[in-house]
Amino acid sequence: MRRDILCCILLLLCGTIVYAQKQISAASPDGQIRVTISLSDRIYYDVESHGEKLFGECHIGLTLRNRTLGEKPVLKSRKLTAVSETITPVHPLKSSRVENRYTLLTLAFAGGYKVEWRVYDDGVAYRFVTSLRGDIEVMGEDGTWRLESPCKLVLQQPGGFKTSCEEFYSVVSSSEWKAGDRMSELPILVMGERQKVLISEFDLFDYAGAFLRPCGEGTNAFSIIQPRTPLEYEDQGDRSQKILKEADYVARTRGTRSFPWRYMLITQSDGQLVENTMPVRLAPANVIGNTDWIKTGHTCWDWLNGIPYGPDVTFKSGINLDTYKYFVDFAARNGIEYMLMDEGWALDTRDPFRTNPEVHLPELIAYAAGKGVGIIVWLPWLTVEHHMDLFGKFAEWGIRGVKIDFMDRQDQWMVNFYERCAREAAKHHLVIDFHGAFHPSGLDYKYPNVLTYEGVRGMEMNGSCRPDNSIWLPFIRNAVGPMDYTPGSMLNYQPERHHGNRPICSGVGTKAYNMAVCVLFESNLQMLMDNPCRYDQWPDCRDFLTGIPVNWDETRVLAAQAGEYCVVAKRKGDKWFVGGITNSKPRDLHIKLDFLPDGKQYNMVSFADGANAHIIAMDYLRQESRVGSTTVVPVHMTRNGGWCCVIK
């Protein structure tokens, strides 16, 4: 990414700094958000936004083996800086240009550490920066948020640190979340009456991922908890490990380094959650240099619906060369960049170099390359760990990428495994799709060959992937980075009528819903989860889905209420796509097209829920119309329904 930076020291201009009674404050460039730090027995802070105090007496610290950074802090210096820069993301999920303006407050303390604060017009972030000799052992982190008023919290609550991050969202009152209750993964959403706050982490490297746990019933407070570093472990099957011994620390790491950002995205409208670019603004720099070889786009996929059938299928379908050629031919006809081969292409999942003889992989790779389609292969993470030389070998074979699955952990060792994979893949010009993964935390910016992550209850979960849960995704999970939801089902059911398992899988929600999520949900590698033969049964839907870009020049939310509905318009060049979904409640909206340039007429092709889609989810209506900037489109979405269009 390119950064054009303009920095200047502020005294009384953009934000204020006060040191009286050990209090220091800094304001956002527009003056609407303020963080106030108090130094006494530890480092405390308050956050105010638009005249409302959101957090009070929060405290932070970093506990090392022999001392705690932030305990009885002695301030040596403070510096306030205004930063204004333009960022051009390698893979723009929201916008091809991101303006990054914030007030940077740097507090240096005796004992070799600093705390950096960034105060944005839409949030606050902080991180520790240390300059200590040798290696250090971090025993834990004191990151505690204390809400000024009770709020609803939207959480993902696993049963322990081993999790694929696919739990249903739960809505819990902050005053009732108590010690002993399940912790939550990041990100979490704080639902205030006037404002909402998304809390997450970023720039996570060589360190354990953070979870949040309640401090006690009625405290309206929660704090960071992290998994300890595993020391001894043994393989369990081909895709998991049993941890036999843990360290008493959460990280052993370099003494001179920066630690992850802990950030609060603060919004006054629900649409700001969806439009936010905080991950881009906190992201580390790209370390792999030239990225021209990295191709984003769509991929076919054989796992859920891998048995083609119909009059054009004259071969026996399955995990074999003819079936994969059928998928490749479909990809080539429709401008799809990749074909992803899931479990079965290797003769043994533990050995990436012995291929299934029915697949004839060398012939398939050459066949796909001749048609401009790249091959991505799936592997469990343990196989990758035991054969880190596979990236070089796969590059020799002509494979373009690897889907790595079942990590299900966020301890320091596993966080480092992600980076080792990204680095080795980048050396050999391979892309990566992480499944069984935790939320994006900056790796995909440092190594842009990391295209997407699962860590979401997506269409792979079949009947349990319901719109009532998925409607939270644009506001929470997708708000922190790319998300492999595996969308695009052409066989659709309402929840109470859903059925279907491999190799004939279906999607919950209407057909219009299942198309709209392909616009709404963001991923640099967008999966098309259905079978080519079913896409060809609905060529109008197929052409719409395969024409949706995955990277965008501009994103605008047209209507949104967290947990209820979301309608978003996205521009690529001179085309606009709009995608909207609702939960189990039907919805009638009037969508203004005032984002279009004045004085021009455009052609709009839309897909809406049919008159009987509330019962027969396959029912949809395709329409064409002429529209302009003054057009207001009436949009009806039935229960678990959607609406989408392309305007050009």
Distances (CA, A) of 401 to 288, 340, 378, 395, 504: 16, 9, 9, 9, 26
Angle at 249 between CA 248 and CA 255, to 5 degrees: 145
| Confidence band, pLDDT 50/70/90 cuts, at residue 22 | confident
What mean pLDDT, rounded, does the chain reach?
Answer: 95
Topology at the third CATH level for domain 567-647: Immunoglobulin-like (2.60.40)
Q: How far apart are CA 120 and CA 102, in angstroms?
A: 5
Residue 186 contacts by C-beta under 8 Å, 6 or more apart in sequence?
A: 199, 200, 201, 209, 210, 211, 212, 439, 480
CB-CB contact of 87 with 281 (8 Å): yes
Q: Kindly state the DSSP code that residue 37 receives in the 8-state scheme.
A: E
Topology match between the domains 297-550 and 567-647: no
Q: How far apart are CA 336 and CA 313, in angstroms?
A: 20
Confidence at residue 362, expressed as pLDDT on a 0 to 100 scale:
98
* CATH architecture of structural domain 297-550: Alpha-Beta Barrel (3.20)
Q: What is the pLDDT of residues 359-406, one digit of tens each?
A: 999 999 999 999 999 999 999 999 999 999 999 999 999 999 999 999
Q: How far apart are CA 556 and CA 550, in angstroms?
A: 15
Q: How far apart are CA 522 and CA 526, in angstroms?
A: 8
Query: Among candidates 505, 509, 470, which has minimal Cα distance to 619?
Result: 509
Q: How far apart are CA 227 and CA 247, in angstroms?
A: 10
Confidence at residue 12, expressed as pLDDT on a 0 to 100 scale:
33
432: three-class secondary structure by DSSP? strand
pLDDT at 14 over 50: no
* Residue 477: half-sphere exposure toward Cβ, Cα within 13 Å: 32
Cis peptide before 503 (omega within 30 of 0): yes
Q: How far apart are CA 251 and CA 225, in angstroms?
A: 13
Share of the chain above pLDDT 90, in %: 95
In the block, tokens 């979340």 appear at 177
Domain ranges of the chain: 3-268, 297-550, 567-647
pLDDT at 5 over 80: no
Q: Kindly state the DSSP code that residue 184 receives in the 8-state scheme.
A: B
Q: List residues with catalytic annotation.
A: 405, 460
3-state secondary structure 113-144: EEEEEEEECCEEEEEEEEEEEEEEEEEEEEEE
Confidence at residue 218, expressed as pLDDT on a 0 to 100 scale:
85
CB-CB contact of 414 with 396 (8 Å): no
pLDDT at 643 over 70: yes
First to last CA, the chain: 29
pLDDT at 575 over 80: yes
CATH number, span 3-268 = 2.70.98.10
Torsion, Cα 490 496 497 503, to 10 degrees, reads 60
Tokens found for residue 178 = 């108590």
Q: What is the pLDDT of residues 310-331, one digit of tens each?
A: 999 999 999 999 999 999 999 9
Q: What is the pLDDT of residues 288-298, one digit of tens each?
A: 999 999 999 99
pTM: 0.95
Q: What is the pLDDT of residues 194-223, one digit of tens each?
A: 999 999 999 999 999 999 999 988 899 999
Angle between helix axes 361-370 and 321-333 (nearest 10 degrees) is 10
Q: What is the pLDDT of residues 476-533, one digit of tens each?
A: 999 999 999 999 999 999 999 998 888 999 999 999 999 999 999 999 999 999 999 9
Element (H, E) at 520: helix 511-520
CB-CB contact of 148 with 267 (8 Å): no
Angle between helix axes 412-427 and 390-397 (nearest 10 degrees) is 30
314: three-class secondary structure by DSSP? coil
